[in-house]
Amino acid sequence: MLLSNPWPLTSSLSKFMSSIDELFTKLRSENRKALMPFITAGDPDLDFTASVLQELVARGASMCEVGIPYSDPIADGPVIQASYTRALNKGIKLNNILKTLSNEAPQLAAPLVTMISYAIIYRHGVEKYADALKQSGVAGMIVPDLPVEESPRLAKVCQTRDLSLIQLVSPLTPRDRALKIADTSSGFIYYVSVAGITGERTELPPELAERVSWLREQTPLPVCIGFGISKPEHVKLLAPVADGLIVGSAIVRRMADVETDGRETTLKQIGDYVESLLTALEQ
């Protein structure tokens, strides 16, 4: 059974309408769900990052998540960890990533968000990073290592700039804590499908649908599922109970083939793969 969410958002931190809020409002009016690919910035270089973003949006992605490489990945499996290492070994810098995103965001018919460690935000400066995102046209940030107890400050900084602060809920999150996370989140809630790290999986937990359905009944925010989603069968299974689906490792793994297969071939392979997921999502 499909559950409806009373968008526009009405939580205490959602008195603004970011481009992510507008996206989900539009999708709901069309009875559609979001497909949100994740890619690593700067692997193998930022020119290719820009090309992949263009390909993903051209194929129909609703939103794109851009991972900011970090030396100590949080919950990232071996595929994404390896991509972060490759990018860092080539000297990727945050300012260069933001410059690339500022060139791409205004041209893309889909919002961009960054997946970033709070350690990077803190070192860069909380307000400074939020201002840089706003100026770049990026819609928000996912901060996987931000404890809910420490999130109000960043949530307020984002709110004053019409940026979304997307936070994570996992299968191990107690229900009362999940509600606290929802209260300081905006844009959508990132529901982690499994207790563990990112990566492609053959099966997803049977209780996942029930847990996501419960959370959707508790909050006006859209709930999107990530971790382990890699097959059209996963998309068909989860689309009825989620507002969006996030796919990362399966795309990042294909991006790693660029050195052997070439850029055009790799772009087409990524695009074809995402299109197969979109076809399943719309069935």
Kindly tell me if the per-residue pLDDT of 13 is higher than 80: no
Number of domains within the chain: 1
Q: Structure pTM? A: 0.89
Distance CA 168, CA 82 (A): 22
Residues above pLDDT 70, as percent of the chain: 88
275 to 109, 191, 240, 281: CA distances (angstroms): 16, 23, 19, 10
Q: Any idea what the CATH number is for the domain that residue 159 is in?
A: 3.20.20.70
Residue at 6 is within a domain: no
Tens-place pLDDT, residues 95-132: 999 999 999 999 999 999 999 999 999 999 999 999 99
Domain assignment present for 248:
yes
Quote the tokens at residue 66.
Answer: 């851009």
Report yes or no on 3 lying in a domain.
no
Is there a domain that residue 117 lies in? yes
**Which domain, by its residues, includes 255?**
19-278
Does residue 90 fall inside a structural domain? yes
Asked whether residue 2 is assigned to any structural domain, the reply reads no
Among all residues, which ones are annotated catalytic?
Answer: 65, 76
Q: Which of 243, 204, 196, 199 is nearest to 224 (CA)?
A: 243
DSSP for 119-143 reads HHHHHH-HHHHHHHHHHHT--EEE-
Report yes or no: 184 and 167 within 8 Å, Cβ to Cβ. Answer: yes
**Structure confidence at residue 90 (pLDDT):** 94
pLDDT digits (tens, 9 = 90+) for 33-79: 999 999 999 999 999 999 999 999 999 999 999 999 998 766 566 88
Q: Is 69 contained in some domain?
A: yes
- How does pLDDT run across 140-164, given as a tens digit for each residue? 999 999 999 999 999 999 999 999 9
In a domain, 139, yes or no: yes
**Amino acid 210: pLDDT:** 84
